[in-house]
Amino acid sequence: MSNIAMTRVTRECKEVAQASDITEAGIHVEMTDNNITDIKGLIKGPDDTPYADGMFEVHMSIPDQYPFEPPKVKFVTRVWHPNVSSQTGAICLDILKDKWAASLTLRTVLLSIQAMMCAPEPSDPQDAVVAKQYISNYPMFKCAPRSVEKSKTGLTGRQEDAATKIRAGQRERPMPDGRDGYFFCTGNELLLATATYWTSVFADSKREVDKDFQKKVNRLVEMGIREGEAIGVLSCNNWKLEQAVQYAFG
C-alpha cells in the first residue's frame, strides 16, 4: 500500500471513531488483524425500517491506489435488500463504482450504505429477485420532489436527507422507476416481513418475526436443507412452500 493510502486510511478510521454523529448513528470501524487494507465496518440498521435493531457487518478492502480508486465493499451479514446481493453481499452503490471521487472517504461510504438501507434504488438493483418483490408490492403517495444533486459529502440530496432522517426515525423511499418525490409507506408486507425475518436471523435483531415463515423454514430443515439455504430458497419463492420445495429439489 502506498504512503498516501496508508495515511488517508489511518486518518479516516480515526475520524469515524471520534465523530460523535457517526457513533450516535451506530457506525463503527476496526481493522482486521491490525491490517490497514482490511477494514471491518459495523452499521446499525436504521430505525423504522425492517433492518432496525440489527447490526450489519461490512468488509472494506482498501486498494493500493486509494483514494484514487474506491474501496471494495460488501456485506458480511446477510441482508434482504434490492441493492445488495442476497447471496454474496455485493453492493450496488454508485459511489463505489463510477461516481467515486478522491475527495470521498470511508465515512461517506458507511453513511451512504446506511442511507441506502433507508432508500433502496430498485431501478438499479444488485439482486433482481428482491427488486421485483419490492416493486410488485410497492405502495406510495406523492410528496414534494427532492433534489438528487451531489453534495460535498458525495451523497445525493435524497441520500443525505435519509442519513439525517435515520436519527429522526423517518423513512424516505424513491419510486420503483427511480424518480424522486415519493415516500414509501408501510404496506409492502412481503418485502418488509422478509427483510425483518432476515434481520432477526442474520443480524441479531430481537424484533418479532412472521411465525408462519419460521414454520416453513423448519419444514425445509426437516427435509435436510440447511437453515440459511432454506431461508434463501423460501424468500426467493415468496415464501410459497411447495414452490420452494420444487426449487430446492427439482
Q: pTM of the predicted model, to two decimals?
A: 0.80
Instruction: Determine the straight-line distance between the first and last CA of the chain, rounded to whole angstroms.
Output: 48
pLDDT confidence band for 147 (50 / 70 / 90): very low
Q: What is the pLDDT of residue 137?
A: 62
CB burial of 165-198 (b: ≥16 within 10 Å; e: otherwise) equals bbeeeebbbbbbeeebebbbeeebeebbbbbbbb
- 98 exposure class (CB count in 10 Å sphere: 0-12, 13-18, 19+): exposed
C-alpha dist (Å) from residue 43 to 22, 40, 94, 178, 225: 10, 10, 19, 25, 30
CATH architecture for segment(s) 3-184: Roll (3.10)
C-alpha dist (Å) from residue 214 to 13, 51, 228, 239: 39, 18, 12, 10
Q: What is the pLDDT of residue 164?
A: 55
Percent of the chain's residues with pLDDT above 70: 80
CB burial of 45-76 (b: ≥16 within 10 Å; e: otherwise) equals bbbebbbbbbbbebbbebeeebbeebbebbbe
pLDDT above 90 for 181: no
Percent of the chain's residues with pLDDT above 90: 58
pLDDT above 80 for 150: no
pLDDT confidence band for 2 (50 / 70 / 90): confident
User: Mean pLDDT across the stretch 96-108?
Assistant: 95
36-40, 47-51, 136-140, 195-199: least confident range: 136-140
Q: What is the pLDDT of residue 185?
A: 41
Catalytic site residue 92? yes
pLDDT above 70 for 10: yes
Q: Which residue has the higher pLDDT, 75 or 182?
A: 75
Secondary structure (DSSP) of 108-177:
HHHHHHHHHHHS--TTS-S-HHHHHHHHHT--EEE-------B-TTS-BHHHHHHHHHHHHT------TT
47-61, 69-83, 140-154: least confident range: 140-154
- Kindly state the cell numbers that stand for 42: 459495523
Q: What is the pLDDT of residue 119?
A: 86
Query: Which residue is catalytic, options 92, 118, 143, 236?
Result: 92
Read off φ and ψ for residue 140, nearest 5 degrees: -155, 165
Q: What is the pLDDT of residue 138?
A: 56
pLDDT above 50 for 172: no
